[in-house]
Amino acid sequence: MYSEGISDLTEMIMQLVKCPPDQREAMTSLAKDRTKNRYLPTFEKVLKSHGQDYLVGNRLTRVDIHLFELLLYVEELDASLLTSFPLLKAFRSRISSLPNVKKFLQPGSQRKPPLDTKQIKEARKIFKL
């Protein structure tokens, strides 16, 4: 269930890349609204309800990595969206401190920075969007 919610919001954020320019502002506003009012409150509530460090018990699972990745996307979209969610911010910090994750997040690693306007335009051209 957690994975599906994470996938839903991730897809909504990823759709912004291929969204037509005239619809981008409205779609971005919708994504931010759903992030702040639907998805992040749910994950915050889960962390609060059981008082553990991770979504499922107190052990790192795949869904925690997916949530961490989603939180990175949310920060790229608008970092202020996380301000009302202290448990998610602590979760993000905890996961980013894990040695392998920390290494992955370093500059020059395999993680790619967010696309800029020029890259989005080029991708739209290549994929004929």
Q: Report the chain's C-alpha Rg in angstroms.
A: 16
Cα 60 to Cα 34: distance, rounded to the nearest angstrom:
26
Domain boundaries, given as residue ranges, for the chain = 2-126
Report the C-alpha gap between 25 and 28 in whole angstroms.
5
Specify the fold of 2-126.
Answer: Glutathione S-transferase Yfyf (Class Pi); Chain A, domain 2 (1.20.1050)
Q: List the chain pLDDT tens, one digit each, 129 residues.
A: 899 999 999 999 989 887 888 998 999 999 999 999 999 999 999 999 988 899 997 899 999 999 999 999 999 999 999 999 999 999 999 999 999 999 888 877 666 666 777 877 787 788 776
Count of helix runs (H) and strand runs (E) in the chain: 7, 0
Alpha-carbon torsion 14, 109, 126, 119, what sign? positive
